[in-house]
Structure 1
Amino acid sequence: MAQTQTPATGQPLARYASWRRAGDLVLMSGVIAVDPASGVVLDRFDQVPESVRKELGQTGELSVDIFQAPALVQSWVVLDRIRQLAEEAGGGMEDVIKLVQYFTDLRDYPLYNRVRRMFYPDTPPASTVVEVSGMLPSRQVRIEVEATAYIPLGDNVASARR
Protein backbone atom coordinates (compact mmCIF):
# COMPACT_ATOMS: atom_id res chain seq x y z
CA MET A 1 0.00 0.00 0.00
CA ALA A 2 1.26 3.49 -0.83
CA GLN A 3 1.98 5.73 2.11
CA THR A 4 1.31 9.47 2.13
CA GLN A 5 3.23 11.86 4.32
CA THR A 6 2.75 15.51 5.28
CA PRO A 7 6.19 16.85 6.11
CA ALA A 8 7.32 18.87 9.08
CA THR A 9 8.62 21.36 6.48
CA GLY A 10 5.06 22.58 5.95
CA GLN A 11 1.71 21.79 4.46
CA PRO A 12 1.40 21.70 0.67
CA LEU A 13 -0.13 24.80 -0.93
CA ALA A 14 -3.09 22.80 -2.29
CA ARG A 15 -4.71 19.40 -1.84
CA TYR A 16 -1.85 16.99 -2.56
CA ALA A 17 0.73 14.98 -0.65
CA SER A 18 4.22 16.39 -0.26
CA TRP A 19 5.47 12.86 -0.83
CA ARG A 20 4.18 9.34 -1.17
CA ARG A 21 5.93 6.08 -0.55
CA ALA A 22 5.24 3.19 -2.90
CA GLY A 23 7.36 0.29 -1.67
CA ASP A 24 10.98 1.41 -1.78
CA LEU A 25 10.23 4.45 -3.96
CA VAL A 26 9.48 7.86 -2.50
CA LEU A 27 7.83 10.22 -4.98
CA MET A 28 8.01 13.89 -4.04
CA SER A 29 5.62 16.48 -5.40
CA GLY A 30 7.07 19.53 -7.09
CA VAL A 31 8.82 21.78 -4.57
CA ILE A 32 8.88 25.54 -4.94
CA ALA A 33 10.52 28.24 -2.82
CA VAL A 34 7.50 29.51 -0.91
CA ASP A 35 7.27 30.03 2.82
CA PRO A 36 4.32 27.73 3.66
CA ALA A 37 3.30 29.83 6.68
CA SER A 38 3.10 33.19 4.90
CA GLY A 39 2.75 32.20 1.24
CA VAL A 40 5.65 34.53 0.38
CA VAL A 41 7.86 33.51 -2.55
CA LEU A 42 11.49 33.39 -1.38
CA ASP A 43 13.83 35.18 -3.77
CA ARG A 44 16.22 37.33 -1.68
CA PHE A 45 19.47 36.45 0.07
CA ASP A 46 18.14 37.69 3.43
CA GLN A 47 15.52 34.91 3.27
CA VAL A 48 18.09 32.08 3.58
CA PRO A 49 20.42 31.32 6.49
CA GLU A 50 23.33 33.73 6.74
CA SER A 51 25.76 30.80 6.68
CA VAL A 52 24.56 29.88 3.16
CA ARG A 53 24.56 33.33 1.50
CA LYS A 54 28.26 33.54 0.63
CA GLU A 55 28.28 29.94 -0.56
CA LEU A 56 25.37 30.80 -2.87
CA GLY A 57 27.32 33.71 -4.28
CA GLN A 58 26.03 36.81 -2.50
CA THR A 59 28.42 39.61 -3.43
CA GLY A 60 27.00 42.46 -1.37
CA GLU A 61 26.70 44.47 -4.60
CA LEU A 62 23.03 45.35 -5.11
CA SER A 63 23.43 45.61 -8.88
CA VAL A 64 24.66 41.98 -9.02
CA ASP A 65 22.72 40.38 -6.18
CA ILE A 66 19.33 41.71 -7.27
CA PHE A 67 19.60 39.81 -10.57
CA GLN A 68 21.18 36.58 -9.31
CA ALA A 69 19.45 36.17 -5.94
CA PRO A 70 16.05 34.95 -7.21
CA ALA A 71 17.49 31.94 -9.07
CA LEU A 72 20.17 31.17 -6.47
CA VAL A 73 17.87 31.47 -3.46
CA GLN A 74 15.02 29.52 -5.05
CA SER A 75 17.46 26.80 -6.13
CA TRP A 76 18.85 26.42 -2.62
CA VAL A 77 15.45 26.50 -0.88
CA VAL A 78 13.99 23.92 -3.26
CA LEU A 79 16.93 21.51 -3.00
CA ASP A 80 17.15 21.94 0.77
CA ARG A 81 13.45 21.09 1.10
CA ILE A 82 13.96 18.01 -1.07
CA ARG A 83 16.76 17.04 1.33
CA GLN A 84 14.37 17.51 4.27
CA LEU A 85 11.65 15.44 2.58
CA ALA A 86 14.12 12.64 1.81
CA GLU A 87 15.20 12.65 5.46
CA GLU A 88 11.57 12.54 6.64
CA ALA A 89 11.12 9.46 4.43
CA GLY A 90 14.12 7.82 6.12
CA GLY A 91 16.87 8.61 3.60
CA GLY A 92 19.02 11.44 2.34
CA MET A 93 20.01 13.31 -0.79
CA GLU A 94 22.19 10.38 -1.87
CA ASP A 95 18.95 8.37 -2.17
CA VAL A 96 17.38 10.82 -4.62
CA ILE A 97 17.78 9.09 -7.98
CA LYS A 98 15.82 11.40 -10.31
CA LEU A 99 15.07 15.12 -10.48
CA VAL A 100 12.66 16.82 -12.87
CA GLN A 101 13.48 20.54 -12.93
CA TYR A 102 11.08 23.16 -14.26
CA PHE A 103 12.22 26.67 -15.12
CA THR A 104 10.27 29.69 -16.33
CA ASP A 105 13.51 30.85 -17.95
CA LEU A 106 16.26 28.40 -18.89
CA ARG A 107 18.82 31.18 -18.40
CA ASP A 108 18.43 30.39 -14.66
CA TYR A 109 19.73 26.86 -15.21
CA PRO A 110 23.47 27.68 -14.89
CA LEU A 111 22.86 29.31 -11.48
CA TYR A 112 20.66 26.40 -10.40
CA ASN A 113 23.28 23.92 -11.57
CA ARG A 114 25.90 25.68 -9.45
CA VAL A 115 23.66 25.32 -6.37
CA ARG A 116 22.83 21.70 -7.22
CA ARG A 117 26.57 20.91 -7.00
CA MET A 118 26.39 21.96 -3.32
CA PHE A 119 23.91 19.14 -2.72
CA TYR A 120 25.52 16.64 -5.15
CA PRO A 121 29.27 17.31 -5.17
CA ASP A 122 30.06 13.93 -6.71
CA THR A 123 27.36 12.06 -8.62
CA PRO A 124 24.16 13.92 -9.47
CA PRO A 125 20.88 12.04 -9.95
CA ALA A 126 19.28 11.39 -13.33
CA SER A 127 17.84 14.67 -14.53
CA THR A 128 15.24 16.23 -16.79
CA VAL A 129 15.06 19.98 -17.43
CA VAL A 130 11.94 21.64 -18.80
CA GLU A 131 11.07 25.26 -19.56
CA VAL A 132 7.48 26.24 -18.74
CA SER A 133 5.46 29.41 -19.20
CA GLY A 134 4.54 29.85 -15.54
CA MET A 135 4.07 28.20 -12.15
CA LEU A 136 1.70 28.52 -9.24
CA PRO A 137 1.16 30.43 -7.03
CA SER A 138 2.72 33.44 -8.77
CA ARG A 139 5.03 34.59 -11.56
CA GLN A 140 7.76 35.10 -8.94
CA VAL A 141 8.25 31.32 -8.81
CA ARG A 142 11.04 30.60 -11.27
CA ILE A 143 12.06 27.05 -10.32
CA GLU A 144 10.15 23.92 -9.31
CA VAL A 145 11.72 20.52 -8.77
CA GLU A 146 10.10 17.14 -8.27
CA ALA A 147 12.16 14.22 -7.01
CA THR A 148 12.13 10.45 -6.84
CA ALA A 149 14.12 8.66 -4.17
CA TYR A 150 14.93 4.99 -3.68
CA ILE A 151 14.77 4.39 0.08
CA PRO A 152 14.36 0.71 0.97
CA LEU A 153 11.78 0.18 3.72
CA GLY A 154 13.93 -2.11 5.91
CA ASP A 155 15.09 -0.17 8.98
CA ASN A 156 13.46 3.05 7.78
CA VAL A 157 9.85 1.91 8.33
CA ALA A 158 9.56 3.58 11.75
CA SER A 159 11.09 6.79 10.44
CA ALA A 160 8.85 6.82 7.36
CA ARG A 161 5.70 6.55 9.48
CA ARG A 162 6.38 9.60 11.66
Structure 2
Amino acid sequence: MTDRKAIIPDGMEAVYEKVRYAPALKVGNTIYVSGQIGRDRDMRLVEGREAQMVQAFENLKAVLHAAGASLRDVVDLTTFHTDLRDLPLFMRVRDRYLDAHPLPAWTAVGAHMLCGEAGYIIEIKAVAVLPE
Protein backbone atom coordinates (compact mmCIF):
# COMPACT_ATOMS: atom_id res chain seq x y z
CA MET A 1 0.00 0.00 0.00
CA THR A 2 1.19 3.51 -0.77
CA ASP A 3 2.27 5.59 2.20
CA ARG A 4 0.03 8.46 3.23
CA LYS A 5 1.47 11.67 4.63
CA ALA A 6 -0.43 14.53 6.25
CA ILE A 7 0.54 17.91 4.82
CA ILE A 8 0.42 20.68 7.42
CA PRO A 9 1.89 24.01 6.31
CA ASP A 10 3.34 26.45 8.82
CA GLY A 11 0.49 28.42 10.29
CA MET A 12 -2.10 25.66 9.80
CA GLU A 13 -1.12 23.49 12.74
CA ALA A 14 -4.30 24.53 14.61
CA VAL A 15 -6.41 23.01 11.84
CA TYR A 16 -4.78 19.64 12.41
CA GLU A 17 -4.59 19.86 16.20
CA LYS A 18 -7.87 21.62 17.09
CA VAL A 19 -10.24 21.06 14.19
CA ARG A 20 -8.76 17.59 13.60
CA TYR A 21 -8.22 17.28 9.87
CA ALA A 22 -5.22 17.45 7.57
CA PRO A 23 -5.03 20.44 5.23
CA ALA A 24 -3.91 17.84 2.66
CA LEU A 25 -2.96 14.22 2.37
CA LYS A 26 -0.22 13.09 0.01
CA VAL A 27 -0.62 9.56 -1.33
CA GLY A 28 2.09 8.58 -3.77
CA ASN A 29 2.39 11.48 -6.21
CA THR A 30 -1.21 12.66 -5.64
CA ILE A 31 -2.14 15.42 -3.21
CA TYR A 32 -5.69 15.65 -1.89
CA VAL A 33 -6.26 19.15 -0.53
CA SER A 34 -9.05 19.72 1.98
CA GLY A 35 -11.40 22.62 1.36
CA GLN A 36 -9.58 25.91 1.85
CA ILE A 37 -11.57 28.89 3.05
CA GLY A 38 -11.07 32.62 3.44
CA ARG A 39 -9.49 32.61 6.88
CA ASP A 40 -6.10 33.97 7.78
CA ARG A 41 -3.24 32.41 9.75
CA ASP A 42 -5.00 33.37 13.00
CA MET A 43 -8.05 31.38 11.82
CA ARG A 44 -10.09 34.59 11.44
CA LEU A 45 -12.52 35.25 8.63
CA VAL A 46 -11.18 37.67 6.01
CA GLU A 47 -13.64 40.47 5.24
CA GLY A 48 -14.80 41.20 1.72
CA ARG A 49 -15.94 38.83 -1.03
CA GLU A 50 -12.93 39.15 -3.31
CA ALA A 51 -10.54 39.17 -0.33
CA GLN A 52 -12.01 35.87 0.90
CA MET A 53 -11.57 34.30 -2.52
CA VAL A 54 -7.98 35.51 -2.72
CA GLN A 55 -7.26 34.20 0.79
CA ALA A 56 -8.74 30.80 -0.06
CA PHE A 57 -6.45 30.58 -3.11
CA GLU A 58 -3.46 31.75 -1.03
CA ASN A 59 -4.25 29.02 1.50
CA LEU A 60 -4.53 26.46 -1.30
CA LYS A 61 -1.19 27.64 -2.69
CA ALA A 62 0.44 27.32 0.76
CA VAL A 63 -0.83 23.76 1.22
CA LEU A 64 0.38 22.73 -2.22
CA HIS A 65 3.77 24.35 -1.62
CA ALA A 66 4.14 22.43 1.66
CA ALA A 67 3.51 19.23 -0.30
CA GLY A 68 6.14 20.10 -2.92
CA ALA A 69 3.56 21.09 -5.53
CA SER A 70 2.17 24.23 -7.12
CA LEU A 71 -1.10 25.43 -8.59
CA ARG A 72 0.17 24.17 -11.98
CA ASP A 73 -0.11 20.62 -10.60
CA VAL A 74 -3.85 20.92 -9.86
CA VAL A 75 -5.89 18.52 -12.00
CA ASP A 76 -9.27 18.80 -10.28
CA LEU A 77 -10.88 21.76 -8.52
CA THR A 78 -14.16 21.74 -6.60
CA THR A 79 -15.53 25.02 -5.28
CA PHE A 80 -18.39 25.57 -2.90
CA HIS A 81 -20.21 28.92 -3.02
CA THR A 82 -22.85 30.33 -0.70
CA ASP A 83 -24.01 32.58 -3.57
CA LEU A 84 -23.55 31.36 -7.13
CA ARG A 85 -24.03 34.92 -8.33
CA ASP A 86 -20.40 35.34 -7.20
CA LEU A 87 -19.20 33.05 -10.02
CA PRO A 88 -18.10 35.85 -12.39
CA LEU A 89 -15.98 37.43 -9.61
CA PHE A 90 -14.70 34.02 -8.55
CA MET A 91 -13.69 33.15 -12.12
CA ARG A 92 -11.70 36.39 -12.42
CA VAL A 93 -9.87 35.61 -9.17
CA ARG A 94 -9.39 31.96 -10.16
CA ASP A 95 -7.88 32.98 -13.48
CA ARG A 96 -5.21 35.01 -11.66
CA TYR A 97 -4.10 31.81 -9.92
CA LEU A 98 -4.77 29.08 -12.47
CA ASP A 99 -3.23 30.15 -15.75
CA ALA A 100 -1.54 26.90 -16.77
CA HIS A 101 -2.81 24.86 -19.68
CA PRO A 102 -4.46 22.53 -19.75
CA LEU A 103 -6.77 23.98 -17.12
CA PRO A 104 -7.95 21.62 -14.37
CA ALA A 105 -11.37 20.03 -14.27
CA TRP A 106 -13.73 22.22 -12.22
CA THR A 107 -17.02 21.69 -10.41
CA ALA A 108 -18.85 24.58 -8.72
CA VAL A 109 -21.43 23.71 -6.07
CA GLY A 110 -23.94 25.97 -4.34
CA ALA A 111 -23.93 25.54 -0.56
CA HIS A 112 -26.18 27.01 2.09
CA MET A 113 -23.40 27.50 4.65
CA LEU A 114 -19.69 26.71 4.91
CA CYS A 115 -17.71 25.71 8.00
CA GLY A 116 -20.82 25.81 10.13
CA GLU A 117 -20.25 29.56 10.57
CA ALA A 118 -21.88 32.58 9.01
CA GLY A 119 -19.81 34.82 6.77
CA TYR A 120 -17.77 32.30 4.82
CA ILE A 121 -18.64 32.48 1.11
CA ILE A 122 -16.11 30.19 -0.63
CA GLU A 123 -14.37 26.86 -0.09
CA ILE A 124 -11.85 25.44 -2.55
CA LYS A 125 -10.96 21.74 -2.63
CA ALA A 126 -8.35 20.40 -5.03
CA VAL A 127 -6.49 17.34 -6.24
CA ALA A 128 -2.95 17.80 -7.57
CA VAL A 129 -0.64 15.29 -9.20
CA LEU A 130 3.13 15.69 -9.07
CA PRO A 131 5.13 14.76 -12.16
CA GLU A 132 6.74 11.33 -11.85
Task: Give your verdict on TM over 0.5.
Answer: yes
1:42 to 46, 57, 60: 46
Instruction: Please tell me whether the aligned partners of residues 75 and 143 of structure 1 are also in contact (alpha carbons under 8 angstroms).
Output: yes
Query: Which amino acid letter does the alignment assign opposite residue 32 of structure 1?
Result: I
How far off is 1:122 after superposition? 4.4
Q: Provide TM-score, normalisation by structure 1.
A: 0.72
Name whichever structure is richer in helix by fraction.
1
Q: Aligned residue for 1:144?
A: 123
| 1:80 to 1:35, Cα distance in 2 relative to 1, 3 A | closer
Q: Which runs of 5+ in 2 are unaligned?
A: none
CA contact (8 A) 1:9 1:81 kept: no
1:16 corresponds to which of 21, 38, 48: 21
Tell whether the 8 Å contact from 2:4 to 2:25 is kept in structure 1 after alignment.
Answer: yes
Would you tell me which structure has more strand in proportion to its own residues? 2
Cα distance, 1:120 vs. partner?
Answer: 1.7
SS of the residue corresponding to residue 72 of structure 2 reads helix
Structure 1 residue 137, shift from structure 2 partner: 4.5
- State percent identity of aligned pairs: 27
Unaligned segments of structure 1, at least 5 residues: 44-69, 155-162
Larger radius of gyration: 1
Q: So what's the TM-score if we normalise by structure 2?
A: 0.88
> What letter matches 2:44 in structure 1?
V
What SS is found at the alignment partner of 2:107? strand
Match of 1:159?
Answer: none
Superposition RMSD in Å? 1.5
Question: Does the 8 Å CA contact 1:3/1:22 hold for their aligned counterparts?
Answer: yes
- Which amino acid in the other structure matches residue 26 of structure 1? I
Match for 1:108 among 80, 86, 89? Answer: 86
> Which amino acid is 2:7 matched to?
Q
Matches within 5 A, 1:6-155: 6-11=8-13, 12=15, 14-37=19-42, 39-43=43-47, 70-123=48-101, 124-152=103-131
